[in-house]
Amino acid sequence: MQLDAFETVTEFGVALAGFSALAATLTHKPGALTPLDRVRTINLLSTTLTPAFVALFPAIGESFGVSGTALWRGTSVGLTVVVVAAFGFSLSLFRSLSAADRAGLSPVLWVFFVGINALVVVAQVINASAALAAPGPGPILASLVALLFLGAQQLVRIVIVRPVEPSA
């Protein structure tokens, strides 16, 4: 398989992350990033940069002579590790928020965030274990696109649908 689709994911992820960082910077006053904005921004960047960098794994694997099933199994394992680490970091940030700041987070969007991450991990475990079929690029690409969609949704939430901050 050509790696064009993975290159496209990398380009889109980097562009979305760059635009997100710029938009987040322009929508906040200097030095006024609240803990809630910090969590939102870090989650946004993690869901855009994760697919951007993980999409490079197949090209890196091929450069080392890995191909076929081993390439896709390794990429699935790598994606799983990165998503679990990023989600764990997001969870630690969430727990560090005060009760008032946590109240400022949408429960529906938090469930959506958790659900997408969980689906990505499940899809990659199934792909890597060859439970349904030989490991392939399809579940990896679908997972990377799901993470990019999650990042785009968070960008809209931060920039366009500016949530009302809880009063201190």
pLDDT at 29: 64
Domain ranges of the chain: 4-160
* Residue 126, pLDDT above cutoff 90: yes
Q: What separation in angstroms does the CA of 42 have from each of 21, 83, 131, 148?
A: 10, 14, 33, 14
* DSSP percent split of the chain into helix, strand, coil, nearest 5: 80, 0, 20
pLDDT in tens, 95-124: 998 888 888 788 888 899 999 999 999 999
CA 62 to chain centre: 24
| pTM higher than 0.75 | yes
